[in-house]
Amino acid sequence: MAFALLKPIKHDVYPFIDPAQNLKEAAPGKTVLVTGAGTGIGRGIATSFAQAGASCLILAARRTEPWKRLKQASPNLRQNAKSLSPAALMSRTLHRWKRSISGFAAVADSDPESWCRTVDVDLKGPYYVARTYIRALRSTGKKLRGFIINVTSNNAWRYISGLSSYAAAKIGLNALSEYIDKEGVAEAASGDDRPEVRCVAMHPGGVYSEMVERGVAAGDMPEAIVPLLIDQPALPGGTAVYLSTERAEFLYGRFVSATWDMEELENLKERVVKEDLLRSRVLGVNV
C-alpha cells in the first residue's frame, strides 16, 4: 500500500539547510561542478555552494552572467582559468546536448525527434557526465571521494497526460543514480587506488525558470502549470549542500525531495535504512 514518508512543506531555504549559516562550513576544500548554472535551479545550487565556501566552482553555462551573480553572493570567489581546465572534456560532452523538453503530447501524437531529445537531455546527458567524471577520478590512481547529485522529478512516477518522455527519462535517472551509487561503493572496496563515487537523485521542487517561461510562450507547456511553481531556487540549492555532507550519507542511492524538511528526514534515518525506502520500485513486487 502506498504511503507518504513526508509531506512537501518547504518552499524556500530554512535554517537547517542554510548555506550561509548552518552549513557555511560544508563546502571548503570541495570542487563543485554545476551544470545548467545559468538560470533557475542550477543557479540556485551554484550560489548555495558559493555561500557554503566551496574552494572551486566550475560552472557549465552558455552565458557569463552567472559568474557575475556569484561574485556578488560570495566576493571571495576568484575566476581562475586553470581551475576550470579539468572540466574541458566534461564541458565538450555537455555541450552536445541542447537544453530542451518536448511539448505535452500523447505518445501517438508526439514528435519522435522531440520525444527522444528529452531523453537525450534528461537521461543520456547525466549518464555522459557521470561516466566522464568517474573515469577522470580513476585516472588519478588515488583514493578520491566524489559525489553526484542528479536533478530528477516527482513526475517520474506521477502520471501527467502528455509527459511520457520526461517521465521516462526521470524514472530512468532515478535508477541510474542508484546504480552509480552501488557501483561506487563496490569500486572503492576493490582497491586502495580506486575512487568512491556516491550519488543521489534530488527532486528540486517546482521552481519557475526561464525554461518554463519559454515553454509556456511557445505553447509547449500549459500556462496552468505556472501557479504551481512556488519554490525558490535557494531551496534545492541549500538541499544540495546538505546532501553533500556526511550526515546525509544514509540518503545516497535514493530519491530525495527538496520540499521535505531535511531535519525531519534525518529523524527518520533508521526507518529509511531498515525498510530500504526512497527507491524506485514496483508496488506489489517483492524480489
Rounded distance between C-alpha atoms, residue 56 and residue 78, angstroms: 9
Dump pLDDT digits (tens) for 158-184.
888 888 999 999 999 999 999 999 999
User: How would you write 145-202 as a 3-class SS string?
Assistant: EEEEEEECCHHHCCCCCCCHHHHHHHHHHHHHHHHHHHHHHHHHCCCCCCCEEEEEEE
Q: What is the pLDDT of residue 282?
A: 84
Would you state the pLDDT for residue 39?
A: 80
pLDDT for res 147: 97
Angle formed by the axes of helices 164-188 and 112-119, nearest 10°: 30
| Nearest partner of 55 among 85, 81, 25, judged by Cα | 25
- Which amino acid appears at position 71 of this protein? K
CATH of the structural domain 15-274, one choice from 3.30.70.890, 3.40.50.720, 3.20.20.70, 3.20.20.140: 3.40.50.720
Task: Say whether pLDDT at 93 is over 50.
Answer: no
In this predicted structure, the answer to whether residue 191 has a pLDDT above a threshold of 80 is yes
Please determine, for residue 80, whether its predicted confidence score (pLDDT) is greater than 50.
no
For 120, the grid coordinates are: 537525450
CA distance 251 to 17: 15
Q: Which of 228, 230, 239, 229 is nearest to 203 (CA)?
A: 239
Q: What pLDDT, on a 0 to 100 scale, did the predictor assign at position 103?
A: 67
Tens digits of residue pLDDT in 32-65:
999 888 788 999 999 999 999 999 888 887 766 6
Strand partners, 147: 198
